[in-house]
A and B are shown apart, each in its own frame.
Chain A
Amino acid sequence: MSRKPLLDIKNLNVHYITHEGTTKAINDLNLALYPGETLGLVGETGAGKTTTALSMMQLVPDPPGKIISGEILYHDQDLTKLSEHELRKIRGNQISMIFQDPMTSLNPIMTVGDQIREGILLHQKVDMATATKRASDMLEVVGIPMERYNEYPHQFSGGMKQRVVIAIALSCNPEILIADEPTTALDVTIQAQVLQLMENLKKDFNTSMLMITHDLGVVANVCDHVAIMYAGTVIEHAEKHMLYRTPKHPYTQGLFGSIPNVEENVDRLKPIMGLMPDPTNLPTGCTFHPRCPHAMDICQVEFPRITRLNDEHWVRCHLYSADEEVSHE
């Protein structure tokens, strides 16, 4: 790949260590986010999407969470090695995050304006009046009249709250915006508006975005690249069109197979058989092999390496590593 990723996660392992056992939330995860683009991180519930996002912010709750190994490179520095003080300068300023549920991610007893202003005051050397003005400008940017600066979160609807959360996240003009299922808690009509808003702001502010979702429709709408997560690791990472046209990993194929198709009138959907593995007790080898229709002997033994199919597409699957070896020989 020619371009340099803005944020590059290499072989990240995050475990939650409790008395009951160790939950392997993230296993050898690789992820690259390029400047100005939107990367969709797709996976089932419990695949480790949110833990990935929290790792990027270095906010994995510790204890019980522990980053065991791996690097998160951002501007040539490894975020896992920075001090709390250095991280605070990055959080909200260069990397910021939108949480899943706008109902609970705003402080109920602070006015929305003050909450936007807080980030500005923390990161930019401006006086109170300038910060207040910027905060009210941000409100306008996300389509809320600035007269509502002094209102409290409970006076806003869900969609409006999510706009406020977006305003907070973008108030310091971050380079990276992590959106953790930003539309899951909203109803469908509002979802479209919020996605549109995020898309526009992303362009205006030239922000890179990591869009965490389990909604392939959202991915098709807003993302440039897509990473598919399964049991704590990215199993396929590709440019959006390539992925939708030629999904390679059996799990990805299964995902697309389980979307209902309006044109073909089928009686039953084709689900992926089986369940997500228990993260405290992951299968050996490829974590997907118990459910995989193409499982081979090697799949039970060896965790698949990354196989690069081309510049914009890689996959972790023995089906293709075999191909690669053949072609190399």
Chain B
Amino acid sequence: MAKNVATASASAPVVADKKRNQWKEVWRRLKQNKMAMLGLGILVFMVIIALSADLLFPKGFDDQMISRRFQLPNSEYWFGTDNLGRGILDRMVHGARVSLSIGLFAVTISIVFGGLLGAMAGFYGGKVDNIIMRSLDVLLAIPSILLAISIVSALGGGLFNVMLAVGISSIPGYARIVRASVITLKGQEFIEAARAIGASDKRIILRHIIPNALAPIIVQGTLGVAGAILSAAGLSFIGLGLAPPNPEWGAMLSGGRQFIRDHWPMTLFPGLAIMITIFALNLLGDGLRDALDPKLRN
């Protein structure tokens, strides 16, 4: 088809590297948000510490010695020791790897699958909607911790299976959120306009609907990380998650529960770690949502 466009043609340089520009633009806007950068800073710090745990805390997470148990924070054990004489800080740093990856990976699973299922259900409606949402309702009817327990006991323990179990058990929640925003979005005129230029359903869902439905998912996702860490802790607590010597924030928290009256560091520090992580993720999530919304750009 011959293009009879006879106008200026030196446009290539203007828009050639525009994809990169768009991400640069998001990054620039994110940088302006000080709270978001604080959140990002905390997260990066935690990840770095977790990655270099062996280097910084060579004692490891299972250096037991009953004679030095229940120490309060001191110069050698900054956060004190637990009921088996292991350094709480050492265990937390090693546990950060597990907890952070469980939190992030489990939420990724639930966002991806929940998002796609919810988008399909909302977009097609009718039978598809009924089949998907009723199946998810079955999952929703089972308490999510119970669901995670049954998945782990079916698949066996181990880090990966725990993440999978926690991720799967929160799919229905995300699917519901996405479905609701897709239903409002699909009636909008720009979706019809996309159809009118010949876009396929797949393209409409992936390029037009999901990006517009992203904001509530980001917020829910950042909160979900906390839920995931705690669910994983619940699993460890009943012996279905990671095997005991392996540290994990949730497990440390619930392990310290029985000593909470006599020895506070065992619950305080892991709890703080979880709280600060969630706080940082929330700050980052909020900032990201604003940075991704072109209307709020300044």
Hey, which bits of chain A sit against chain B, CB under 8 A?
A: 57, 59, 63, 87-93, 96-97, 99-101, 104-111, 113, 118-119, 122-124, 129, 132-138, 140-141, 146-147, 149-150, 152, 154, 165, 168-169, 172-173, 204-205
Contact = CB atoms under 8 A, between A and B. Distances in A.
Contact of B9 (A133, A147, A169): A133
A169 B190 CA distance: 13
Interface of B: 1-5, 7-9, 11-12, 14-16, 18, 21-22, 126, 188-190, 192-200, 203, 207-208, 211-212, 292-295, 297
Identify whether the interface residues of B are mostly helix, strand, loop, or mixed.
Answer: helix
A137 B7 contact: yes
5 contacts: A99-B196, A133-B11, A152-B294, A154-B295, A168-B197
B212 A109 contact: yes
Contact of A91 (B196, B212, B294): B196
Nearest to A134: B3
Give the most central of B12, B14, B198: most A CB within 10 Å: B198
B5 A134 contact: yes
A97 B196 contact: yes
A127 to B, nearest CB: 12
Nearest to A114: B18
A136 B15 contact: yes
A91 B203 CA distance: 14
B11 A136 contact: yes
B199 A118 contact: yes
For the complex of A and B, 7 pairs with smallest distance between CB atoms: A92-B197, A92-B198, A91-B198, A152-B294, A136-B11, A119-B197, A104-B189
A138 to B, nearest CB: 7
A183 B34 CA distance: 44
B189 A101 contact: yes
A57 B192 CA distance: 11
Contacts of B195: 59, 91
A106 B223 CA distance: 31
Nearest to A132: B15
A173 B1 CA distance: 8
Given A59-B196, A92-B196, A205-B4, A154 B11 contact: no
A123 B197 CA distance: 9
A96 B197 contact: yes
Given A104-B190, A108-B294, A137-B9, A93 B3 contact: no
A150 B22 contact: yes
B18 A150 contact: yes
A233 B43 CA distance: 64
A113 B295 contact: no
Given A104-B188, A133-B11, 20 more contacts: A99-B192, A101-B189, A105-B189, A106-B193, A108-B212, A109-B211, A109-B292, A110-B207, A113-B15, A122-B198, A124-B1, A135-B15, A137-B3, A137-B8, A140-B7, A146-B11, A150-B18, A150-B21, A150-B22, A205-B4
B24 to A, nearest CB: 11
B8 A122 contact: no
B189 A99 contact: yes
Given A129-B16, A141-B7, A146-B11, A88 B294 contact: no
Nearest to B9: A137
Contacts of B197: 91-92, 96, 118-119, 122, 168-169
A138 B186 CA distance: 27
A146 B15 contact: yes
A57 B189 contact: no
Contacts of B200: 88
Contacts of A137: 3, 5, 7-9, 11
Nearest to A124: B1
Contacts of A87: 198
A63 B195 CA distance: 16
B215 to A, nearest CB: 10
A107 B22 contact: no
A113 B190 contact: no
Nearest to B11: A136
B190 A147 contact: no
Nearest to B188: A104
Contacts of B188: 104
Nearest to A152: B294
A176 to B, nearest CB: 12
Contacts of B16: 129, 132
Contacts of B11: 132-133, 136-137, 140, 146, 149
A108 B2 CA distance: 31
Give the most central of A63, A90, A104, A147: most B CB within 10 Å: A104
B193 A132 contact: no
A140 B8 contact: yes
A162 to B, nearest CB: 12
B45 to A, nearest CB: 31
Given A108-B294, A147-B14, A59 B192 contact: yes
Nearest to A204: B4
A109 B293 contact: yes
Give the most central of B5, B193, B203, B293: most A CB within 10 Å: B193
A88 B15 contact: no
Contacts of B14: 136, 146-147, 149
A57 B190 contact: no
A115 to B, nearest CB: 9
B298 to A, nearest CB: 12
A122 B199 contact: yes
A105 B190 CA distance: 4
A288 B211 CA distance: 48
A57 B196 contact: yes
Nearest to A107: B190
A2 to B, nearest CB: 28
Contacts of A168: 193, 197
